[in-house]
Structure 1
Amino acid sequence: MPDDHAPTTLTLQPGVETLTVTGARPGAHLEVREAAGRSVVTVVADAKGHAHVSFVPESPRVVTDLEDLVEIVGSGETLAPGEYVVHDHSSGAPPRVHGPVRVLAVEDVPDPGEYDQVLDAGFGYLRTRDGTLLSAMVRFPDEGLYGPPPWPTVVEYSG
């Protein structure tokens, strides 16, 4: 039987107007707050200990099921860019605080060094502006047909 008060390996992964939580205790109430302290939303970790916040209600509420989610989508907004912390209320009082992390805006530009990634032909990974690693299959055009580089970039993805 799992220990309900054992430490978690909770991880926060900020993105562009999104925040993903992994490693939480299944069923944990995870309160997302602005770094200044204002509560934004509380979500409940799924059976795998994951929660994702990309759309939030006009006022704070606990989202526990699909009906709650459908209701807030009609009147909410995207997660605003800024600094956030997550209060894990499953660990007892006081809650365990994780973060801060910075959620990016659509208009944010990556560090210029991100453009210096070298992608070799074949299977590999590329780093996105929010730090996520995406697997990629890189195929270059035939120089005999299209001439020497640089070539236009075409990205196909699924998922």
Structure 2
Amino acid sequence: MKNCRLELKWAVIYTFFLLVWMVFERLMGWHDVHIAKHHLYTLLIYLPTALAYYLALSDKRNNFYGGIISFKQAFICGLVLTIFIAILAIPAQYIISTYITPQYFENVIAYAVQSGKATPEEAASFFNLQSYMVQAVAGSLAFGLVLSALISFIVRRK
């Protein structure tokens, strides 16, 4: 566990950032008034997510490996970070859905049905806490894998 301290630190930092980002989304009206564009606006989180991975892998390179890190070492660090983020995604999604934006599911279900994108049953089965927890973990793992590979290529040093 001592070897994974930096990854855990950055996973906690990222999760805290995610919670702040969700407050920002709610305040911007992306969870109610502007919900029709939420699927586009929420993609903006990928930019600071990439930055968080870059900072985490750079931190590992500079403060654990003494400024030299191979692609493989950085990639493994990224995978460990991704696993921690995926684990923290479950309580984070609970906090988001329960405390930060409790009306989100109600609003997005209403929007999906009113816009003809889904039946009430389809919308209710997709837009709920359990579904979003699964999506948060799966999305964290998939995107984290890709980011780990890309950022590892950038931070490697011989």
TM-score normalised per structure 1: 0.21
Which protein is richer in strand relative to its size? 1
Q: Which has the higher contact order (CA 8 A, sep 6+)?
A: 2
Pair member with larger Rg: 1
Which protein is richer in helix relative to its size? 2
